[in-house]
Amino acid sequence: MYFGAFLMLLELLAPGFVIFFFGLSAATVGLCRFAFGEAFSFTWQLAAFSAFSIVYLLVLRRWLRNTFLGGKVEAKTDFDNEYVGRVGKVTEPISPPLAGRVVIGDAEWTASADEPVAAGATVEVISQNNLTMKVKEVK
């Protein structure tokens, strides 16, 4: 039983979340030895340890790993193209190759365009490069 507790504590130092289940198996065998006494011989202890280890690894590992480490969550948002297709207003004129400023939603952004765009014009975002929006005038 002490060996089982030692193995469970050893898991804190080793990655992978595997040693814990061998410790849990050793503790279970220790409880069986306590419950059955001398009838639970060394041969039965080895067999029970092997069986419990396999069962615990197969049944509990995935569930406990997700519980303690968290499940994998994939984001559905494409942050690189989040503003593509949105419409905004030009606040500072865009004169290529110089950039101007546009307001999209409640934020102001640096913007570039292939053609000059006057202040106050309505534009649509056609691409995004980091914090610079490439826009075209909506006519």
**Residue 95 DSSP label:** B
Q: Indicate the pLDDT class of residue 70, thresholds 50, 70 and 90.
A: low
Phi-psi region of 37 (alpha: psi -120 to 50; beta: other; left: phi over 0): left
* Residue with token string 């280890």: 53
How do residues 75-89 score in pLDDT, each as one tens digit? 556 666 788 999 999
Architecture of domain 84-137: Beta Barrel (2.40)
Q: What radius of gyration, in Å, describes the C-alpha atoms of the chain?
A: 32
Q: Looking at the chain, list the stretches that DSSP marks H as alpha helix, in order from N- to C-terminal side.
A: 2-10, 19-36, 42-69
Torsion of CA 73, 79, 80, 83, to 10 degrees: 150
Where are the chain's structural domains?
Answer: 2-69, 84-137
CA 26 from centroid of its chain's CA atoms: 33
Output 67 or 119, whichever has higher pLDDT: 119
- Shortest CA distance to 56 belongs to which of 89, 114, 2, 7? 7
Q: Indicate the pLDDT class of residue 62, thresholds 50, 70 and 90.
A: confident
